[in-house]
Structures are given as C-alpha cells and as structure tokens.
Amino acid sequence: MHPKVLPYVLLLPATLFLLVFFVYPFVQIALLAFTGAEGFTLQHVQTMASHWKFKAALGWTLLLAAVVVPIQLMLALSMATIVSKLESGRSSILYIFSIPLGLSDLASGIIWLAIFEQSGFLNSLLVGLGIIERPILFLGYQNVWVIFAAVVIAEAWRATAIVMVILVSGMGLIPKEYYEAAEVFGAGPWKRFVKITLPLLRPSLQTALILRTLLAFEVFAVVITLGGTTLPVLMGETFQWQFALQDRHVASAYAMVILAISIAATLFYLWALRVPKGAKI
Amino acid sequence: MAEIVIKKVAKSFGGFHALHSIDLTIADQEFMVLLGASGCGKTTLLRIIAGLETPSQGEVWIGGRRVDGLPPRERGIAMVFQNYAVFPHLTVFENIAFGLRMKKLPRQEIERRVTRTAELMHIEQLLKRYSGQLSGGQRQRVAVARALAMEPDVILMDEPLSNLDALLRLEMRAELKGVLAASKTTTIYVTHDQVEAMSLADRISVMNAGKIVQAARPVEVYRNPAARFVGSFIGNPPMNFIPAKRAGDGKWQVAGVALDGPQASRDRLEFAIRPEDVTVGAEGIPATVRVVEPLGVHTLLTCEVEGALFRAVVESDLAVTPGDTLRLAPKPDRVRWFDPESGMAV
Amino acid sequence: MSTAVSVDAPHKVEVRSAARFLFIAAIVVLCIWVLLPIYLLFVNALSSPQEVSGFPKTGLPSFDFGSVRFFLSFAGVLQALGNSVLVAVLTMVLSIGIGAPAGYALSRFDFPGKESFRMLVVMTRAFPLPLLALPLAVLFIRTGLDDTAFGLAIVHTVLALPFAVLITFSLFSGIPIELEEAAWTLGCNRWQAFRKVVLPLVMPGIAASAVFAFTISWNEVFAAAVLTIQNRTLPAFLVQSLNVSPLHLKFAGGAALVIPALIFIFAVRRYLFAMWGIANR
C-alpha cells in the first residue's frame, strides 16, 4: 500500500470509533441537557439546580477533590522520593506501593467498609485496647463528616498509587547529573528537591493532577459503599436521576456540570504547570 | 553488471530542499564514497537509491533497470545501517540467514552461505549468540555478513563505522576494503569522515547543501579541489585561503607578495595552498607565528597573515617560537586559485 | 585536626544510622498502610458469615469458606463473574485491535492530521468518560446493543483506547525504524517486516497493555451499572445489591474483585512505569 495512504488507513478505526462513541455521545449529552420538546431550554438545568441535593452534591464533590488530591500528591511524592533512594528491594517495594492501582473504587470502598463498619476491625481494635466500651456506628447517616473522612482515606489509599507511578516514571527521566551539579553548588537534599525535582517534574505533576482531579470529580462507588446516599456527590446524583427518577435530561444536566468542572480543572492545571518551550528535559 | 545511474534526482521535505537535481553514475564494481558534513543530503541520496525514501523527482537506474518505483526488496541491493540494525530477537545465524530465508533458498544453500560469510567476517564462533551478547564491533560484523550473504549487486553502507571506537574503526576499515574488493559488488558508502573516504574510495563524491560539488578519485579531490568548499572540507588541517588582487603581467598580489597566477577576467581571486605545500625560507608570504604544535612527524604552525589564520606544516626540527615572523613560500605547482564569488576553481 | 575527627565521627555515624532507621520505618509503615486493608478484606472473606457480622474481630482468618460458598451460590453471581470476564476480554481485544494500528501509525509516519488525531486522543482525558453511558444507553437501545456485553465493552474501550494508543505508540517508537528498514532491504514487504521483526519485539509490551485494558474494564462501575440490567458485570452487580446484600456477600465479592487485579498488576509491573513515563508526553 502507498506510504501516503497507509497511516490514514491505520488511524481510521480508532478515529471512527472515537467520533462515534466519544465525540457524538458528548454532543448528545449536551443536547439532552439543553433541549426539551420545544427546542432549547434551561428547564432541566433549573430542575437540577433547584433540587435540594444539587448544592450539597456539588459542594461535597468539590470539597472531596480539594482534600483528597493534595493528600495524594504529598503521599505520592514521599513514596516516590523514598523509592528513588532505595538501593535494594526497589522493585518489590514499588510493586507493593502500586498494588492499589489495579483496584476499583468499589473494591476500595468494600475494603474500607470492612474496617469502618460497626462490627468492623477499627471498632474491634478500639474496644480491644479499652479506648471505647461499645462499638461506634461510624458510618451512620448522622455522621456525614465521618463518612467524608472515610471516603477521603479510602480514596487516598487507593489512588495514591497511580500518582506515585506517574511521578516515579517522571523522576526516572531527570538525569542524575543535575542533582550532582546542584550538590557541587552546595544544595542540600531539601533544596535539591525543591529546586530541581519539582520544576523538572512539572509535566508528570500535570498529568497526575489532571487525572486524579478528574477521577475525584467522578467519585461514585466508594461513596455509595461507605455512605449510601448520606453523602451526596455529583456522579451519584447523576445515577439517581438516570435510574431512580428516570429523567435522562436532568441526569445529562448533571453530566454537563461534571464536564464543566473537569474542563475547568484541566485548563487550570495546563496553565498553572505549563513548561516554557525549550525548558523541557 | 550493476552500474548505478542517478538522473536529476531531487528531494524536498516540505519547503526544505535536501537534494538539488543530482546526476551521478557509479560504475560496476566501483567503490563510491559519498562524503559531506551532516545535513548535506548524502544519507538521503543513499536512502533514495535503497528505496527507503522516494525522490521528489528524477530517476534511479541499477544494472540497466529503472528502480525508483520499486520497493527496496526488488532492487537487488543490500544495506548496512549506521546502528547495525541487527535483529535483537534472532541469533547471529538467523540474522545472517534472514534475507536468504525470505528468498526461500534451500536449507543447505542457506547454511553454506551463512557459514562462508561468517568465516569471512570472523564471527563463525558467534553464530548462536544474540545481539545483546555482542560488542559493537561484532554487531558491525554481523551486519556486514548479513548484507554479503545476500550476494547482492549493490551494497549500500550508511556510516557503518561511525559508532565504533577509533582503534576498532581502523581495523574494520582495512577489513571492509579487502572483503568488498573480493566480493566484486558495487558499493556506495556514506561517511562524514574524510580519512575513511580517502582510504576506501575508488571515487569520492563530495556533497554540500544537497549538491555534489566534486566526484573524482581521492587524490584528485585532495590535490585539485573543484571548489573552495572541497579544499576547506578535505584535508586536516584544511587548505589556506588568502584574498588576491590583480597586479598586472599575469601576477597577483597575495599578502604583499606578487605571485604568478592564472589569466582571469576578474580583479580579485582567492589564493589557496595546503599547509604542507609551503616551505620556510628567505622569500614568501610574511606570517607571524601564533601557536606552535609539535606533532612528532612534523610541526603544525598557526600563523597570522593579514589578520587571517594561516596554517603551515613544517619539519619538526625547525626552531620557532610564537611571535616569530616567518617567510612562507608556496610550492608553485601546488597553488590553486578560486573565484571568490562562485567559489569554483579557476 | 585528628581530635576533631575522632570526636565528630561517632556522632555522624549516629545521625546517619538514625536517619537510616527513620527511612526504613517509613517504608515499613507505608507497606503496612497499603497491605493491611487488603489483608483485612481477605480475613473477612475467609471467615464464616457469622464471624463476619460478629464482634469483636480477631484479625485472623478462620479459613471457613462459608462466605465464599454463599457468594458463589448467590443468584446471579456466577453469571456476573462470567459477564465481567467476557466484557473485559472484549474490551482488551477491541482496544488493542483498534489502538495498536493507530499507535503504529503515530510512531512511524509523519502526515497531515497527525496532531489533530493526537489532540483527539489526549482530549479524552479531560472528559469524564463513564458519563458516556448516558447517551449511549439510548443509542444502544436503538441498535439492539442495550444490556449486552458488547455494548458495555464499547464504552470500556473508549476508556481503554487512549491508553492503548499511547502505550503502543511508545512501544513501537522503542523499536528503531532501522530494524524494519533492514528487513525491507532483506526481502520483506511492509507486512512481513512487521510480523517478523516488529511484532516479536513488542509482543510482551502489547500483552501488558492488553492486561491494562482488561483491568480498566474489570474495575469500571458506573457505565456497567447504567448499561446492564440482566447481564450485569460483577461491579455492577455488587453496587446494585449494596443496600440489600449481607456483609459477608459484600466482602466475598470485594475479594473476587481484588484477586484478579492483584495478579494483573503483578503481571504488568515491569511495564507500569515505562507506560506512564511515555504517556506523559
């Protein structure tokens, strides 16, 4: 086949697939959200916004992302730094650290349910140590902040791994000579981390933060597993409107909200962590 | 018979002209070296001959057959790549046999050819190894053996020695020359190393900015550069150039000295001489010595003539120190003249 | 000078060994943080239903397979497991089958439109992809793909395809084009050169990215819950029955979700970092 045609032939399936199953459905979502029987309407958006759970869902989702993502970043940076300093057993430790990467948020929710539920391991430990007398109902509907904390812990536990993997591979791309040069010029370990690792890690940080923030906006199964509907989040509400309330228009309006904050977050990270042309490794 | 004829071949990438209408004929069994700095188009030309690149225009003929529409496998060529391109998932034996298996040759014939070329390249003890277990030099040998085993009409080599260290390069150079001469193939060899080019070639094509500036025997290229570029590119240290002004009577004024020169219509020319073609004496071009570098066989002087650098190779027992002023007399039969505007020899 | 050294040296050794101790302690703590929750899930999964809801817990498994037996005999579980595997295998085949040619084209050719395609692929990252399930549910009902493994696999392929494209792109880019060119000059056409030279070299990497696609599908909850009713996958089944199912069913189900994920991550551990290192660019 002619070399000018071949690349297009090879790209055709992927392009068609993405156009039909990615671009077109998102147009559909927008149409569903903004049109009714008489064309364009904001009625679905109003229905969504006036529902008492909307503000709570939006607020909790944003708060969750704002708390979880920085924790994951700190934890992942520490893990990545520790791994980079390891001389032996590096690959085993890396494997252990990256295990949660393969788990779904549902699995992570169930795992932490085993710990936090009323007859769970945390209560067993606390009672066993004599700190409390009777097991506490941590995940009850009146303890929404405890549920929130449990979701944060479960998410930090599960999804730090992916951030760490991205950062470790990013650190692998930074040549050792830069550190040696900085050391010769008198930079201590902390200065080297701040002045060399972090700036040169910007592309990886960007990838990791975009990925993680977006997934935090999509948080769903872990919240239902640990808190049922006590802690409303956007994705959960989308699901509710689609199924329990059978209103696809409002569900799509919710989807538009998630899409909007996702794009806003992406643009923010692209801007905040941009690397000037020519300053790349 | 595998004469290669290149007719008006041009290649451009987007707006960049890599090759400008190249015409070149390479005789059967000739060893042709394409020599030039990186980016001069020599590799592009080789890849067009191989069929790895399509020319924007022009024709390529190999052995009387027009091949520029054909894929590489139908051109009767074999190629040795800069990074050897030894297949890492195959043993040395299978690497050498690869092309033969594609030709569907009988098993005994494959074994015979692999064994023969392996012996030729002194790698018969490595046939069971993989590429990862070989040194750079050994990989190079495998790559050459793989090409020779095809018994091709034409062998194309793209900087095959550039990744070897200096000593190994010297050794392989001599070996390649012997093996290729014995195989009686037509060879096109791309390099940026002028010593390699001089030592291997029947003919050298010096390339610059997508053009062949001169195609001639090595000594000819060295002695009679067709253009200022050739003189400045070939030779280490390169040729010296000094502006010259017409002084009448067939004489030309060079750094205050009147020298015999060509009949030319221009008022200004450029005088050129190789560093080893000057003698130190009472007469000649006045030169102030700046740096003295004793190199054993001879001494290299970097001098200043009319504010420009001028290098001279002198005998190593000449006592000279920086700051001295010498008179350097050019050997008359070695003086060359160039047109300062076109850069071509006069 | 010599006295200064003799006073200073033991002190330095002390500091260094203290730092060493802290370093190792940090690694141990992090390993426990990652592994303990998974261990506790398996303790519950390997205990009898009575022990799972009993209190206090010992933290040691009784190796009673009552919960597991109950889980496996629960109506719909085996079918859900089967569906999960089927959808994941379809996703794997689709995403590699469509993604690898695109990855090859990106790595080997320069052609107009290349950047637009890259943008399309990268853009998928900024979108909350599980939401695709909402409009696609309509499309699938129209085309008869609703509630089928294939329909869900399509949505999961949208999730996995960008990864497949970028990973295979990096894999193919890692094979020097000279190797292919050498094969061409040795009598191969493009396809033969690909099959005899490129394919054997990238096969392990392709297998790793296939496993990655499998894991993405295996773990996906939202789209699976939206798009399937009768033919639920395991995550969809578990999420749907969260309110009604007893604890021991949840934990056994969680364990069933986790085990394959552990194996997959182990299988692709060598490629994890290479994948993400390149996926950054």
pLDDT given at position C276: 62
**pLDDT given at position A157:** 92
Predicted local confidence at residue B30, as pLDDT = 93
Domain count, chain B: 2
Give the model's confidence band at C280: pLDDT under 50 very low, under 70 low, under 90 confident, else very high.
Answer: very low
The rounded distance, in Å, linking the Cα atoms of A97 and C9 is 36
Contact C152, C87 (CB under 8 A): yes
CATH number, domain containing residue B294: 2.40.50.140
Residues C42, C147, single domain; the answer is no
Whether C3 shows a pLDDT value over 70: the answer reads no
In a domain, A118, yes or no: no
In contact, A253 and A47? CB cutoff 8 Å: yes
- Tell me the percentage of chain B whose pLDDT exceeds 70: 100
Chain B closest-CA separation from residue C205 CA (Å): 14
- Domain check: are B310 and B174 in the same one? no
Cβ distance of A95 and C226 shorter than 8 Å: no
pLDDT reading at B153 higher than 50 = yes
Dist. CA B344–CA B337, nearest whole Å: 9
Same domain, C96 and C190: yes
Residue C12, pLDDT above cutoff 70: no
Same domain, A37 and A150: no
**Final residue in a domain of this structure, among B188, B216, B232:** B232
Cβ-Cβ contacts under 8 Å, A94 against chain C: 269, 273
Q: Please tell me the distance in Å from A106's CA to the nearest CA on chain C.
A: 7
Interface residue of C20, C22, C30 to substitute, partner A, most A CBs within 10 Å: C30
Where is the domain boundary, C15, C44, C66?
A: C66
Rounded to the nearest angstrom, the minimum Cα separation between C63 and chain A is 17
Of C66, C90, C109, the residue at which a domain comes to its end is C66
Place of tokens 């002619």: A2
- Are residues C195 and C272 both part of a single domain? yes
A172/A279: higher pLDDT = A172
Q: B interface toward C at CB cutoff 8 Å?
A: 50-52, 71-73, 77-79, 81-83, 85, 87-89, 98-99, 102-103, 146, 150, 156
Q: Residue B331 has what DSSP assignment?
A: P
Residues B103 and B251 in one domain: no
Chain B residues whose beta carbon lies within 8 Å of the beta carbon of residue C201: 88-89
Task: State how far Cα C46 lies from the chain centre.
Answer: 25
pLDDT of residue A241: 85
The gap from C-alpha C159 to its chain's centroid, in whole angstroms, comes to 11
* C154 and C60 together in one domain: no
Minimal Cβ distance to A259: which of C109, C128, C275: C128
Q: Which helix (H) or strand (E) holds B326?
A: strand B325-330
Domain harbouring B193, CATH code: 3.40.50.300
- Put simply, whether C150 touches A (Cβ < 8 Å) is no
**Segment B300-319 mean pLDDT:** 90
Q: Residue C11: what pLDDT?
A: 67
- C232 interfacial to chain A (CB closer than 8 Å): no
A137-141, B91-95, C172-176: range with highest mean pLDDT:
B91-95
Q: How confident is the model at residue C16 (pLDDT cuts 50, 70, 90)?
A: confident
Structure tokens that stand for C74 in this block: 């629960």
Which residues does chain C have within 8 Å of residue B78's beta carbon, measured at their own beta carbons?
Answer: 185-186
Chain C positions touching chain B (beta carbons under 8 Å) = 176, 178-179, 181-189, 192, 196-197, 200-201
Residues A32 and A93 in one domain: no
Taking only the tens place, the pLDDT of each residue in A88-100 is 888 888 888 888 8
Do C53 and C30 sit in the same domain of this protein? Answer: yes
User: Which chain C residue shows the shortest CA-CA distance from A163?
Assistant: C276
Does A16 share its domain with A95?
no
Chain A hits for C27, CB-CB cut-off 8 Å, are 82, 86, 93
Torsion angle defined by CA atoms of residues A147, A148, A153 and A154, in that order, rounded to the nearest 10 degrees: 70
Domain assignment of residue C7, given as a range: 2-66
On whether both C216 and C85 belong to a single domain, the answer is: yes
Token pair in block for residue A48: 């969504």
Residue A127 lies in a domain: no
User: Picking from A133-137, A142-146, B197-201, B216-220, which range would have the lowest pLDDT averaged per residue?
Assistant: A133-137
Contact residues for A174 (Cβ-Cβ < 8 A; gap 6+): A196, A197, A200, A201, A281
Which chain C residue is nearest to residue B75, measuring alpha carbons?
C185
A74 shares contact with chain C (CB less than 8 Å): no
Domain extent at residue B332? 237-338
What is the phi/psi pair of residue C46, to 5°? Answer: -100, 25
- Residue pair C210/C92 in contact (Cβ under 8 Å)? The answer is yes
Choose among A95, A100, A263: nearest Cβ to C126.
A263
- C125 and C256, same domain (yes or no): yes
Measured between CA atoms, how close is A181 to chain C, in angstroms?
Answer: 23
* Of the residues B197, B212, B232, the one at which a domain ends: B232
Mean pLDDT on A183-206: 86
> Is the CB of residue C238 less than 8 Å away from at least one CB of chain A?
yes
Task: Give the nearest chain B residue to C186 (CA atoms).
Answer: B99
Chain B partners of C181 at a C-beta cutoff of 8 Å?
Answer: 50, 52, 72, 79, 81, 85
The whole-angstrom separation of Cα B191 and Cα B169 is 12
Domain assignment present for residue A198? The answer is yes
Same domain membership, residue A76 and residue A25: no
* Residue among C37, C220, C254 minimizing CB distance to A157: C37
Same domain, C14 and C83: no
Q: Is the pLDDT of residue B199 over 80?
A: yes
Are B182 and B244 found together in one domain? no
CA distance A261 to A252: 14
Give yes or no for C184 touching A (CB within 8 A). Answer: no
Distance from CA of A235 to the nearest CA of C (A): 9
C66, C90, C110: which is the final residue of a domain?
Answer: C66
Please state, rounded to an integer, the average pLDDT across all residues of chain B.
91
- Structure tokens that stand for C39 in this block: 């261990």
Same domain, yes or no, for C51 and C103?
Answer: no
Domain co-membership, B79 together with B123 = yes
Secondary structure letter of residue B268 according to DSSP: E
Identify whether residues A70 and A200 lie together within a single domain: yes
C-alpha A239, offset from chain centre: 18
Query: In chain A, what residues touch C128 (CB-CB under 8 Å)?
Result: 214, 217-218, 235, 255, 258-259, 262
User: Which range is least confidently modeled, A118-127, B39-48, B305-314?
Assistant: A118-127
Give CA torsion, residues A254, A260, A262, A264, to 10 deg: -160
Contact A6 C272 (CB under 8 A): no
Q: Is residue B81 situated within a structural domain? A: yes
For A:148-177, CB contacts with C below 8 A are 157, 161, 165-166, 168-170, 172-173
**Can you tell me which residue has the tokens 């062949």?**
B212
* Distance of residue A167 Cα from the nearest chain C Cα, in angstroms: 8
Has residue C281 got a pLDDT over 50? no
pLDDT of the residue at C275: 65
Nearest to B85 among C176, C187, C192 (CB): C176
| Cβ-based neighbours of B174, under 8 Å, separated by 6 or more | none
Residue B305 three-state SS: strand
- For residue A280, the model assigns a pLDDT of 65
Other CB atoms within a 10 A radius of the CB of residue A8 amount to 15
Distance CA B336, CA B224 (A): 8
**A266 and A218 in a common domain:** yes
Q: Which of B51, B89, B99 sits opposite C201 (nearest CB)?
A: B89
Interface contact B52-C184, CB threshold 8 A: yes
Q: How many domains does chain A have?
A: 2
Report if residue A221 sits inside a domain: yes
End of a domain among B215, B232, B249?
B232
What's the confidence (pLDDT) of residue C76?
81
A91 with A166, same domain? yes
C178·B102 Cβ contact <8 A: no
* CA B329 – CA B282 distance, rounded (Å): 8
Q: Across-strand partners of B211?
A: B208
The Cα-based distances of B173 to A196, B114, B161, B201, C155 in angstroms read: 45, 22, 8, 11, 59
Kindly report, residue by residue over B22-64, the tens digit of the pLDDT. 999 999 999 999 999 988 999 999 999 999 999 999 999 999 9
Write down the pLDDT at residue B296: 87
Which chain B residues are Cβ-neighbours of C185 within 8 angstroms? 50-52, 72-73, 77-79, 99, 156
- Report whether B191 contacts B158 (CB < 8 A): no
Residue A138 lies in a domain: no
Residue C216 has pLDDT above 50, yes or no: yes
- Tell whether A35 and A155 lie within a shared domain: no
Reduce the DSSP state of residue B48 to 3 states and report it.
helix
Q: What is the pLDDT of residue B102?
A: 93
Residues B133 and B70 in one domain: yes
Residue B343 inside a domain? The answer is no
Within this chain, do residues B30 and B132 fall inside the same structural domain, yes or no? yes
Question: DSSP of C85-146, one letter per residue?
Answer: HHHHHHHHHHHHHHHHHHHHHHHH---TTHHHHHHHHHHGGGS-GGGGHHHHHHHHHHHT-T
* Cβ contacts from A onto C, under 8 A: 276
How large is the average pLDDT for residues C88-95?
95
B48 inside domain: yes
Across the interface, which of A11, A14, A102 has its CB nearest the CB of C265? A102
φ/ψ of B138, rounded to 5, equals -70, -40
Contact criterion met (CB < 8 Å) for C157 and A17:
yes
Of the listed ranges A58-72, A239-253, B167-181, C31-45, the least confidently predicted one is A239-253
CA distance B85 to chain C (A): 5
Do the Cβ atoms of C269 and A252 come within 8 Å? no
A104 and C261 in contact by Cβ < 8 A?
A: yes
Residues B204 and B245 placed together within one structural domain of the fold: no
3-state secondary structure of B247: coil
- Asked if C26 lies within 8 A of A10 by C-beta distance, the reply is no
Number of separate domains in chain C: 2
Domain coverage including residue A266: 55-103+146-272
Q: For residue B130, what pLDDT is reported?
A: 93
| Shared domain check, B222 and B315 | no
Query: How far, in Å, CA of C272 to CA of A40, rounded?
Result: 46
B111 and B204 share one domain = yes
pLDDT of C231 reads 85
What's the CATH code of the domain at C183? 1.10.3720.10
CATH code, A64: 1.10.3720.10
| A155 burial via Cβ count (<10 Å: 0-12, 13-18, 19+) | buried
H helix runs in chain B, sequence order: 42-50, 92-102, 107-120, 136-149, 166-183, 194-200, 218-223, 228-233
Asked whether the beta carbons of residue B79 and residue C200 sit closer than 8 angstroms, the reply is: no
The answer to whether residues A33 and A248 touch, using CB atoms and an 8 Å cutoff, is no
Tell me: do B227 and B305 sit in the same domain. Answer: no
C257 close to A (CB below 8 A): yes
- Quick check: B102 and C192 CB within 8 A? yes
Q: At C279, is the pLDDT very low, low, confident or very high (cuts 50, 70, 90)? A: very low
Q: How confident is the model over A165-172, as a mean pLDDT?
A: 85
Q: Are residues A32 and A168 in the same domain?
A: no
Q: Which residues of B touch C183 (CB under 8 A)?
A: 87, 98
In a domain, A133, yes or no: no
**In 3D, which of B168, B176, B169, B213 has the Cα closest to residue B34?**
B213
The DSSP code sequence of chain C is -HHHHHHHHHHHHHHHHHHHHHHHHHHHHHHHHHHHHHHHHHHHHTS-HHHHH-SS--SS----THHHHHHHHSTTHHHHHHHHHHHHHHHHHHHHHHHHHHHHHHHH---TTHHHHHHHHHHGGGS-GGGGHHHHHHHHHHHT-TT-HHHHHHHHHHHHHHHHHHHHHHHHHTS-HHHHHHHHHTT--HHHHIIIIIHHHHHHHHHHHHHHHHHHHHH--HHHHHH-SSS--HHHHHHHTTTTS-HHHHHHHHHHHHHHHHHHHHHTHHHHHHHHHHHT-
Tell me whether residue B346 is in a domain: no
What pLDDT shows up at residue C274? 67
Average of pLDDT values for C59-80? Answer: 80
